[in-house]
A = this chain, B = another copy of it.
């Protein structure tokens, strides 16, 4: 049993995480939010109070923190008696926050892979470059660290594992599909931090095919899907975190990630990339200022959090899994539909932030009650997916399966012990 949560970061996902922790503070205890910019923490706390998200009276506190500073982070973890750290700050702080957790014994979670600001798209598997180097350290310290527990990576890893366990004797391929059919009504905006967003697409696209890494260029491979609710959707093969752990942990020959892009996004992205404006390497202006072009692009784009009020439409994210069961070909799509307007009504966020933040809080609850508190570093597909899916069904993210002619809500069978934490969740209805 662990209690008290420290949320690192105060962006769009942190906003959702704070609301969801508040809704479940009976189990999670105190909630602390830390960011470089204290005002952003206060804004989130104000929103939590405005929406009445706290399930019961409890502590909700803001802290100024540079999460690159391991000692300061350790001090804050100890001072707040937080046993669970949800890191939803920039991907540059993962390794320092993880180190602070290892040294304090707090459980660690993040929703995206660690990145070095100066490097884009390193050698696969990406986790081996940073996080997995701390596998032994986590084991020795008995520290639970769940890597990449947003929606993708995160829930889609659990979906892959769940499909394998439930529907197949053998899985041949997992195609992870992420489509946002919503509209924010702005000329152009990214749905999460533009810097993180663009860095995903500016270099080699790695996919796992025939049991090996295959390199493609961005927007080189296009695929149309007919998805539930969002309908016909155009996607492109994209590099993504989860491929780098699922390829090692699941033994499936083909694992690919497909992200939906409209022509307008591709046009803007192509112009910016070809001009060199998405570069992470500094340039020198005529006046002699050194500046990273990507940081300027980020500065002129809308704050993703500001998109939420007018956002309409839905997202569809899931795993299309193919293989065999009892010698016969089998295909199932496990997916979630999330509505931008409903997410905004509930917590004041758009669906992209919502789908990333809810799973992290579900994981925190599964650590709090011991279900997922494994005392080591894991990627999500290494954990039993059943309690996560079951818990999320009650937290606003319902898992469905399209299987042959059927399309139904997935309600995993669980051992009695696992059901305890799920029963503790305040009902969404």
- Chain B residue with minimal CB distance to A264? B271
Interface centre among A279, A298, A299, by most chain B C-beta atoms within 10 angstroms, is A299
Once A267-B271, A271-B271 are accepted as A-B contacts, the answer to whether A295 and B299 lie under 8 Å apart by CB is no
Q: A267-B271, A271-B271, A291-B289 are in contact. Are A277 and B296 (CB under 8 A)?
A: yes
A284 close to chain B: CB less than 8 A: yes
Cα-based distance from A284 to B289 in the complex (angstroms) = 13
Are A285 and B296 in contact (CB-based, < 8 A)? yes
Complexed CA–CA distance, A267 and B195 (Å): 23
Contact of A268 (CB < 8 Å), options: B275, B276, B289, B292: B275
Residues on the B chain within 8 Å of A291, using CB: 285, 289, 291, 296, 299
Task: Provide the residues of chain B in CB contact with A284, threshold 8 Å.
Answer: 299
Q: Check A287 for interface membership: any CB of B closer than 8 A.
A: yes
Q: How far is the CB of A26 from chain B (nearest CB, A)?
A: 35
Oligomeric state, in copies:
2
User: What residues of chain B lie closer than 8 Å to A212, measured between beta carbons?
Assistant: none
Contact partner of A300 (CB less than 8 A), chosen from B187, B268, B277, B289, is B277
Q: Does A72 touch B at the CB level, under 8 Å?
A: no
CB of A300 within 8 A of CB of B271, answer no
Is the pair A300, B286 in contact by a Cβ cutoff of 8 Å?
no
Closest-by-CB residue of B relative to A272 is B271
CB distance from A10 to the nearest CB of B (A): 12
Pairwise interchain contact A293-B295, C-beta atoms closer than 8 A: no
- How many Å from the CB of A276 to the closest CB on chain B? 4
Interface contact B295-A286, CB-CB below 8 Å: yes
Contact of A301 with B by CB under 8 A = yes
CB distance from A12 to the nearest CB of B (A): 14
